[in-house]
Chains A and B, each alone.
Chain A
Amino acid sequence: MTITTTMIKVGIADLKTAKAPNMLKTSGLGSCVGVVVYETSQKIAGLAHVMLPDSTVSKRETNNAMKYADTALDILLKELQEHGAKKYALRAKMAGGAHMFSFRSDNKMLRIGDRNVEAVRNILARYSIPILAEDVGGNKGRTIEFNIETSMLEIRTVNAGTTII
């Protein structure tokens, strides 16, 4: 029997769920945050690429709920549970939230990466989902791949090599 692994790509402001042996990948995280929520016993995982921390501050009725940390995680957890994941067994890993440029003087946008990371932490804490590993901050872009089989998250950067958490 051949087992084929498909690399499932998650775009910007997008999310996907998958089961092993498939892998989940999202490319070019800067200030955006990639959050993986997974359950090891059933080998099921979901990955969200969130751009902004909070949907409630938006000035307009925006169309894409997967853009914001709060609404994206709501959708992600719902999808995982629909596929049979047990809420108490969920774990999370995340990467991203960088600060690509050293300036940014308009205050409200200052440190959007940090605010994304903070928002994801708060929401996961509210759902009592522990974050087992993270690689956040700094000033580098990241591409991440989650291996559902092993629950390992591979992080590739341009200037700082590859790490696995």
Chain B
Amino acid sequence: MVRIDQLTQTHLDVLKEVGNIGAGNAATALSSLLNKKIDMTIPSINIVDFNELMDYVGGPETLIVSVFLRIQGEAPGSMFFVLTPEETNALVKRLLGDTEFKAEELMEKEMAYSAISEIGNILSGSYLSALSDFTSINMQPTVPTLVLDMAAAILMEGLVEVSQESDHAIIIDTMIEDGEGSTSSVKGHFFLLPDPDSFDKIFSALGVLDK
């Protein structure tokens, strides 16, 4: 079992590659959906404790919109597609042409809710299927759920499994964004949080052996 404090640069590079493959595929999917050029950032691998994770997303009370799914199969974990309220507005505007939409009304606006859910669905699905192909690890997503709430309340739900064994989580963060770079640009973050036991599976599938 690879422990967090024993991770080498090679391990971190492998996890970056995991983020690259997944988000690259998701960016392609979003690009063909929106008929727009979509860029992605280099994945960042963060090893954080729970409170640091909340600071990472802007504080525990920060309002976020998130699609959450559990990965089941040989390498279980949690996956989030996270949008800020502004990013949600931009995405709804682009998908539905609704310029009046406010993210705070997400739970009441059926069309917007459904559109964002579907985007989250498609993107996380393409992320996972790329990852599953690349590693030859069997991964099945649960049905994704979309919520708008405080960051801590949402993210901790995906960390229940991790927290049983550890006080730290390894988070693979990738951002996708359209090329415009303005405040109204379409973008979002993928957070992949493998369960502690899944790292060995991922590392051995990709040929990184324990030293």
Binding site for B on A (CB under 8 A): 11-14, 27-32, 51-52, 57-60, 62-64, 67, 98, 100-106, 109, 112, 139-143, 158-159
Contact = CB atoms under 8 A, between A and B. Distances in A.
A64 B51 CA distance: 13
B149 A100 contact: yes
Contact of B54 (A12, A98, A102, A104): A12
Interface residues of B, number: 32
B82 to A, nearest CB: 14
A70 to B, nearest CB: 14
A106 B70 CA distance: 9
A100 B148 contact: no
B163 A27 contact: no
B142 interface: yes
B150 A52 contact: no
B167 interface: yes
Interface in B32-65: 50-51, 54, 59-61, 63
Given A103-B142, A103-B143, A140-B149, A158 B63 contact: yes
Contacts, number: 109
Chain B interface main SS type: mixed
A59 B153 contact: no
Interface stretch (B14-22, B154-162, B181-189): B154-162
Given A12-B51, A101-B145, A101-B147, A141 B153 contact: yes
A63 B167 CA distance: 7
25 contacts: A11-B50, A12-B50, A12-B54, A27-B152, A28-B61, A28-B150, A28-B156, A29-B152, A30-B149, A30-B150, A30-B156, A30-B157, A31-B156, A32-B156, A59-B164, A60-B166, A100-B147, A100-B153, A100-B154, A105-B72, A106-B70, A109-B160, A141-B149, A142-B150, A159-B149
B78 to A, nearest CB: 10
Chain A at the B interface: SS class: loop
Given A101-B147, A103-B145, A28 B152 contact: yes
Interface of B: 50-51, 54, 59-61, 63, 68, 70, 72, 76, 107, 142-143, 145, 147-154, 156-157, 160-161, 163-167
Contacts of A100: 68, 147, 149, 153-154, 157
Nearest to A11: B51
Contacts of A59: 164-165
B36 to A, nearest CB: 30
Given A30-B150, A30-B154, A101-B145, 6 more contacts: A28-B54, A32-B156, A51-B156, A100-B147, A106-B76, A141-B150
